[in-house]
Structure 1
Amino acid sequence: MIAYNWPRYTAGLAAAAASAALADRLPRRLRTMARAGSAAAIGLLASATVASWLVYDRSELYDYDWLDALLPQAPSAHVVVGTGLDEASVPLAARWPASRQIAVDLYDPAVMTEGSVRRARRRVPPPPHAVPGRPDALPVRPGLADAVFLIFAAHELRQARDRERLFVECARALRPGGRLVLVEHLRDGANTAVFGPGAWHFLPRGEWLRLAAHAGLRPAAERRIAGLVTAFAFTKGWE
């Protein structure tokens, strides 16, 4: 978290330190506001760091045992879609060694301009077998996959039209009865409480349900992880 977002941490701490240093030189009312703002900035940085540590380092998130509640059976073929940082392909391949895996890399530096994505990609490069794709053109033949995974990937497509195209492509890649597994933080009360304004980088629950419906997928299962991450399973057709 810190390695990927260190400029934001640096800017936040610098702003907090500057506010605290200048507070004594300000009129009483502004002094109180400056100190409160400094404390709030430090508090949000601390809460976001602790929350990220609990979710990514201490929770069940990366053991993937929660998939048992979302997938009725192990897939014979599955697709992992990444948009910059792919931490799912390797553990999913190890979980289902007999399953054919296609890893698709949608990263486009002209579109995904956030520095955190570039830094994450340098630290964790795509798997060697990943193939490039676009939101409107996944390199997967129709009906190939029993499961498609979008794990902390879809929110990096900031344009609604790109997300719509991606969900339609995921549905096209699924066999009838196959499932799209979406894992995301939501723009909700819990995430706003710990990430503050940073939670606006996430998308609300209603947007994900809308995208699934747009692609002809229906909700099949849902799991909350560490109180801050939601894993959805959407089904193509009727099982």
Structure 2
Amino acid sequence: MTHRPSGAREVVVYNWPLYAAGAACAVAGAASARRLQGVLRAAARGGALLAAGWLLSSVAASWWVYDRSELHAYTWLPDLLPDGLGDHLVVSGGLDEASRPLSTQGSQTIADLCLTTTGSLRRARDRVPPSPRAVAARPDCLPVESASQDTVFLVFAAHELRRPRDRENLFAECARALRPGGALILVEHVRDAANAAVYGPGSFHFFPRAEWLRVAGRAGLRPSAERRIGTFVTAFAFLRDPA
């Protein structure tokens, strides 16, 4: 049976405690507003409406990105990799849905960072187990030889590394793995106005664009292309300079 890539329904399942907390805030705010007066009543009612609005807008944005956009079809990839994938490494965090569609080109290696630091990651891994071809890895140790890969993919994996040092180590390892002229493809939600508007406080789980530019630059990688996918996701291409 062919696995359907995760959509809005799965996003809610993976993160159900957060959605439950948002719903509880909306209900509590609405209930409190009935017992309060004046400014406090208006504040409680406004908070309830805001919580309910973010719940609805986050699900709608996830549906647009994961169910309706070109994200999972990878039709956007030639804009970043006009010469194709070549030999490539897919680095997975908690949920690997990139290796299968990318496996049709070149030789593929899958590195699994084995992240289970949050409930959402554990639920995602339970539903979509790592590929049997995946090799266990760490941010500071990827299972490939130096200068052996044409492309390295980080698709919704790097933001799960919450410590700056881990992100820096991962990007340094990606740079080590790349051949001169090779590309790192990073796909992430970024913390910007669009994502903050629809995900509300949830957008603080994303990192700003400046953080990805920082860790890439520290690893000696330079930005070469950038593309928006489904309004709320950004795909970056960072190149290792030719020798």
Quickly name the TM-score band, shorter chain normalised. over 0.9
Do structure 1's residue 128 and structure 2's residue 132 form an aligned pair? yes
Deviation string for 1:53-101 (max 9, x for gaps)?
A: 000110011110111011131233100001111110111113x2xx111
The within-5 A match list for 1:83-232 is 83-94=93-104, 96=105, 99-109=106-116, 113-232=117-236
Which residue in 1 is equivalent to 2:7? none
- Counterpart CA distance in 2 for 1:11 and 1:190 is 22
State the match for 1:43 in structure 2: 53
**Secondary structure, aligned partner of 2:15:** helix
Question: Partner residue of 1:66?
Answer: 76
Q: Report the alpha carbon displacement of residue 30 of structure 1 after superposing the two structures with TM.
A: 1.4
SS at match of 2:103: helix
Structure 2, unmatched stretches of 5+, are 1-10
More off after superposition, 146-155 vs 23-32: 23-32
CA distance in 2, matches of 1:134, 1:6: 28
Taking the aligned partners of 2:161 and 2:79, their CA distance within structure 1 comes to 27
**How far apart, in 2, do the equivalents of 1:107 and 1:28 lie?**
51
How far does residue 108 in structure 1 lie from its aligned partner after superposition? 3.5
Q: Deviations over 1:22-51 (max 9, x none)?
A: 321112321111111111100000000000
What does residue 35 of structure 2 align with?
25
* Partner secondary structure for residue 102 of structure 1: strand
The number of equivalent residue pairs is 233
TM-score in terms of structure 1 length? 0.94
- Deviations 1:197-233, CA, capped at 9 Å, x for gaps: 1111111111111111111111111111111111010
Distance 1:76 1:199 in 2: 34
- Computed over aligned residues only, the root mean square deviation of the Cα atoms, in angstroms, reads 1.2
Question: Structure 1: which amino acid aligns with 2:90?
Answer: V
What amino acid maps onto 1:171 in structure 2? A
- C-alpha spacing 1:120/1:76, structure 2 compared with 1 (3 Å): same
* Contact 2:91/2:153 (<8 A) preserved: yes
Counterpart of 2:233 in structure 1: which amino acid? Answer: V
CA contact (8 A) 2:147 2:179 kept: yes
Tell me the distance in 2 between the aligned counterparts of 1:19 and 1:221: 44
Offset at residue 2 of structure 1 (A):
0.8
1:3 to 2:13 alignment: yes
In the superposition, the TM-score normalised over structure 2's length comes to 0.93
Runs of 4+ in 1 over 2 A off after TM superposition: none
Question: Per the alignment, in what secondary structure is the counterpart of residue 223 of structure 2?
Answer: strand
Q: Distance in 2 between matches of 1:106 and 1:2?
A: 23
**Within 1, Cα distance between the matches of 2:25 and 2:130?**
35
Are the aligned partners of 2:147 and 2:178 in contact in 1 as well (CA < 8 Å)? yes
5+ residue gaps, structure 1, are: none
Give the letter aligned to residue 47 of structure 1: S
